[in-house]
Amino acid sequence: MTLADFVYDPLAPGFQESLVPIYRTLRDHFPVYRSRRGGWYALSRFDDVLRAAHDVTTFSNVVAEAQLFLPMMIYMDPPRHPALRALLSKAFTPRRIAGLEPRIRSVVTALIDSFIGLGRCEFVHDFATLLPSIVVGELIGVPATHLEEFRYWTERFLTGTADENREAAAQIYRVFTGLLQARRAVPADDLMSALIQAEIDGTHLTDEELLGFCFLLILGGNDTTTSLLGNGIELLARHPDQRARLIADPSLVPAAIEEMLRIAAPTQALPRTATRDVSLHGQTIPAGSRVMLVYGAANLDEREFPDPDRFQIDRPIARHLAFGHGAHFCLGAPLARLEARVAFEELLRRLPDYELQAEPVRLRSHWARAFETLPLRLSPGI
């Protein structure tokens, strides 16, 4: 096989449907892939991606996209990144996240109630996008009247071009500018108020940093959990034996969620910038090159996971890369896991016999694994 025979392009027609064999080809034949269009590189083996995620000195998070947006932690290196991360981590303590469970369960119950009697639902827009937007919106302090707008721009961001991403970001910044002004005038018990009042080395965050924080929180808080829920419900629909085990033993739900994350990571790839020449697998990645860390391919690497393409809800998983790894490990991972656990507990209890009503439609995205539509036929249980 030569490079001329193979192209790794997440936006190519059929890519999402052929993802498993494409990733296998990447890992086996092109572990250091060089694109013929743009000259960027991609790493796809588990150990290579893991090492790169931890080596922020060599693989910098300062990438071209950073120029499109206001300052965000995801595009920062030390020393600013750890300082901002430490600040935000105070809002995601285990105790605070655990305290959200009753509210999450009430939202899940209300959403199921809204469509259970209809005998059908379009799972993405009737449930998967609504749950995280409500939960993270309340955590940040976003009024319910703005949630639909944020959901719209988040979806646009997942599938958009650079110009469309810039427009989506501008609209989100616009709304948050007004919300932050309101919080300055009347503080509340929410994350926006806490960020306004916070200091790093005696200095408050700049307006741009505040907007960047809020943008990252609303985007990450929405899309990751939405994708996890959609991917998970589809996997269980196609694996009735695994679903039956979960229904019989709900204590397996947390382990099942880790397997959902592994086999269908919501974030399939993220970019880095090589700060020096890197020699790997007989190739050299020149300093300054864009390098994609393909988490989705790494999570299906047989070098790390036996029989990796099989969906197995009780698979022993010591580690995976669905939430990244190292200094940039997703701060919202505990919240996403909690939302997913509660959601699958209630969905499987009340809708144990749901079926795919039609073939789901995948989003075409540079980096996400998600559904555009996911129609379900419902047979209520309890």
The string of pLDDT tens digits covering residues 6-41 is: 899 999 999 999 999 999 999 999 999 999 887 899
What is the residue-wise DSSP string for 80-118?
HHHHHHHHHHGGG-HHHHHTTHHHHHHHHHHHHHHHGGG
Do 361 and 375 meet the contact criterion of CB atoms below 8 Å apart?
no
The mean per-residue pLDDT over the stretch 49-57 comes to 97
CA distances from 112 to 173, 280, 345, 373 (A): 32, 50, 12, 17
Domain that holds residue 294: 3-377
Q: What is the pLDDT of residues 331-376, one digit of tens each?
A: 899 999 999 999 999 999 999 999 999 999 999 988 899 999 999 9
Report for 67-76, 184-193, 263-272: range of highest mean pLDDT: 263-272
Secondary-structure percent of the chain, ordered helix, strand, coil, rounded to 5: 55, 10, 35
The mean per-residue pLDDT over the stretch 280-306 comes to 97
Q: What is the pLDDT of residues 209-265, one digit of tens each?
A: 899 989 998 888 888 999 999 999 999 999 999 999 999 999 999 999 999 999 999
Inside any domain, residue 13 = yes
Q: Using CB atoms within 10 A of its CB, is residue 345 exposed (0-12), middle (13-18) or buried (19+)? A: middle
pLDDT for residue 139 is more than 50: yes
Inside any domain, residue 198 = yes
Q: What is the pLDDT of residues 163-195, one digit of tens each?
A: 888 888 899 999 999 999 999 999 998 889 989
List the structure tokens of 279.
Answer: 């020699």
How many domains does the structure of the chain reveal? 1
How far is it, in rounded angstroms, from Cα 338 to Cα 347?
14
| Helices 101-115, 333-350: inter-axial angle, 10-degree rounding | 40
How far is it, in rounded angstroms, from Cα 348 to Cα 283?
48
| Average pLDDT in the chain | 93
CA torsion 49→231→25→367, rounded to 10°?
A: -60
pLDDT for residue 2 is more than 80: no
Greater model confidence, 3 or 167: 167
Inside any domain, residue 342 = yes
Question: What's residue 164's pLDDT?
Answer: 83
The confidence band for 381, taking pLDDT boundaries of 50, 70 and 90, is: low
pLDDT for residue 65 is more than 90: no
pTM for this prediction? 0.94
For 182, phi and psi rounded to 5 degrees?
-65, -40
Question: What's residue 87's pLDDT?
Answer: 83
Inside any domain, residue 82 = yes
Question: What's residue 336's pLDDT?
Answer: 96
Of the chain, the percentage scoring pLDDT greater than 70 comes to: 98
Inside any domain, residue 208 = yes
For the ranges 130-134, 145-149, 158-162, 194-198, which has the lowest average pLDDT? Answer: 158-162
Spatial CA neighbour of 121 closest among 381, 382, 373: 373
pLDDT for residue 159 is more than 90: no
Of the chain, the percentage scoring pLDDT greater than 90 comes to: 75
CATH code of 230's domain: 1.10.630.10
The mean per-residue pLDDT over the stretch 277-288 comes to 97
How far is it, in rounded angstroms, from Cα 306 to Cα 314?
13
pLDDT for residue 160 is more than 80: no
Inside any domain, residue 362 = yes
Question: What's residue 158's pLDDT?
Answer: 74
Inside any domain, residue 50 = yes
The confidence band for 1, taking pLDDT boundaries of 50, 70 and 90, is: very low
For Cα atoms 363, 356, 157, give the angle at the middle one, nearest 5 degrees.
15
List the structure tokens of 62.
Answer: 């300062």
Question: What's residue 3's pLDDT?
Answer: 56
Inside any domain, residue 382 = no
CA torsion 314→316→321→324, rounded to 10°?
A: 90
Do 335 and 220 meet the contact criterion of CB atoms below 8 Å apart?
no
Tell how far CA 5 is from the center of its chain: 31
**DSSP annotation of 14:** T
Question: What's residue 281's pLDDT?
Answer: 97
Instruction: Mention every residue, 6+ apart, whose C-beta is less than 8 A from residue 229.
Output: 123, 127, 128, 131, 132, 339, 340, 343
Dihedral over Cα of 81, 180, 129, 257: its sign = positive
Question: What's residue 382's pLDDT?
Answer: 45
Question: What's residue 380's pLDDT?
Answer: 64
